[in-house]
Chains A and B, each alone.
Chain A
Amino acid sequence: MKTTSFPSEWTLRRAIAFAAALGIGVATYIAIAESGGGSPVCIAGGHGCETVAKSSYSHLAGVNIAVFGIVGYVLLLAGAFFVNDEARFGGFVVALGGFGYSVFLTYVELFKIEATCQWCLASAALMTVLFLLCATRLIGYAGTGERVRPRERRA
């Protein structure tokens, strides 16, 4: 029986790698922009990015949360290069953590800081996409072992 309802793992891995690479770019920009006490430039205008960057929520244990974002995206990118259950499950857990924290940060932006940063929202959207991709990969291909292509899977 073929798993026709899932995209091939190869496709999912490529999509994960692409989204993670974008995420690295976004998180790196935020980290660099905030490193000297500055803030990312809101392309759409306004002061939301500055307000969010200067809030206490932009740091966790003294470390800019964009740095944690970079680490997460790098782990997700690395996980896309391996075809085994460790990579599938590890990627899922990292994406789940990133997605969960993105939900919290978006709540904070909307209801506590009352300002939104488009770069943070872009990162949150990427984490959401990555979570969905990693969840699909895990559900569709967990337990299939290494080098087993989707069409070879058995029920």
Chain B
Amino acid sequence: MSAEPDRRQRLLQMAAGAVFLAVAAVLVLIVVNSSGSGTDANIEGAAEVDRELAGIPQHGMVLGDPKAPVRLIEFGDLQCPTCAGFAKEILPPIIESRVKNGEARIDFRNLTIIGDESTPAGAAALAAGEQSRGWNYLELFYRNQGEENSGYVTDEFMRAVAKAAGVKNLAKWNQDRQRLTSKVEQTTAEARELGYEATPSFAVEGPATRGSLQLLGTPETTGALEEAIEAAQ
């Protein structure tokens, strides 16, 4: 006669133990995931990029004074290792000597050629540009670039780059990047109409070009870009 209450008591004790374990497990999961020691910590070069771009105005994906007489357009793919090389080696002297003094501005546009992950990556950069952190995003993405189409361009990775780039309103960034996917496709189509199939590709316009774009292809040196800027002035 006492077996039934005993069994009931034992089952309820086990259930209470299971509830305790479940609460503990959920708390541990939440604490581990909120510690911030995950993807954010893996983004490198934020301080270096901040130094490089300090004091330079950014409007959308345009770096430099919007009234600068020369506009250098870069068509790039965030997954492209050559673009990353340009961002680290070729462009910094241009930014230092031509953009900071107001001679030129650089207008980044997406030309996606590497693969499917290039489009969300490019849209995420444009969304950062909506908060005037587009170039910080670009430079940081390049510095933390993974292997092409390897699946590293996750939402977490892009969010961590945005956070490290100083994007203040991440919720807005998240909404904007969905909306701006079509813009990435649009600039890619425009670049192809210019005959560009490789990244990075450049074009320049200024007083000397009389409003028309001068196509530069992929200059191999900083000097070649500087000459093009001077010629366009």
A residues contacting B by CB (< 8 A) are: 47, 50-51, 54-56, 85, 88-89, 92-93, 96-97, 99-101, 103-104, 107-108, 111-115, 135, 138-139, 142-145
Q: In the bound complex, how far is the Cα of B166 from the Cα of A126, in angstroms?
A: 39
Question: Any chain A CB within 8 A of the CB of B231?
Answer: no
Q: Which residues of B contact A107 (CB under 8 A)?
A: 30, 33
Q: Is the CB of A100 within 8 A of B4?
A: no
Contact status of A85 and B11, CB under 8 A, knowing A93-B18, A96-B18, A143-B4: yes
Identify B178's interface contact among A51, A96, A104, A138, CB under 8 A: A51
A138 shortest CB reach to chain B, Å: 6
B31 shortest CB reach to chain A, Å: 11
Question: Any chain A CB within 8 A of the CB of B47?
Answer: no
Identify A54's interface contact among B14, B15, B29, B155, CB under 8 A: B155
Question: Any chain A CB within 8 A of the CB of B7?
Answer: yes
Q: A-facing mask of B137-156, CB < 8 A → 1, else 0? A: 00000000000000000111
Q: In the bound complex, how far is the Cα of B33 from the Cα of A113, in angstroms?
A: 11
Q: Which residues of A contact B7 (CB under 8 A)?
A: 85, 142-143
Q: Rank and list the top 5 A-B pairs by shortest CB-CB distance, nearest first.
A: A143-B8, A47-B178, A100-B22, A142-B11, A143-B7
Q: For A99, give the chain B residue with the smallest CB separation.
A: B22
17 A-B residue pairs with CB within 8 Å: A54-B154, A54-B155, A55-B154, A55-B156, A56-B155, A85-B7, A93-B18, A99-B22, A100-B25, A104-B26, A107-B30, A114-B174, A138-B15, A139-B15, A142-B7, A143-B8, A145-B4
Q: Is the CB of B18 within 8 A of A114?
A: no
Question: Any chain A CB within 8 A of the CB of B42?
Answer: no
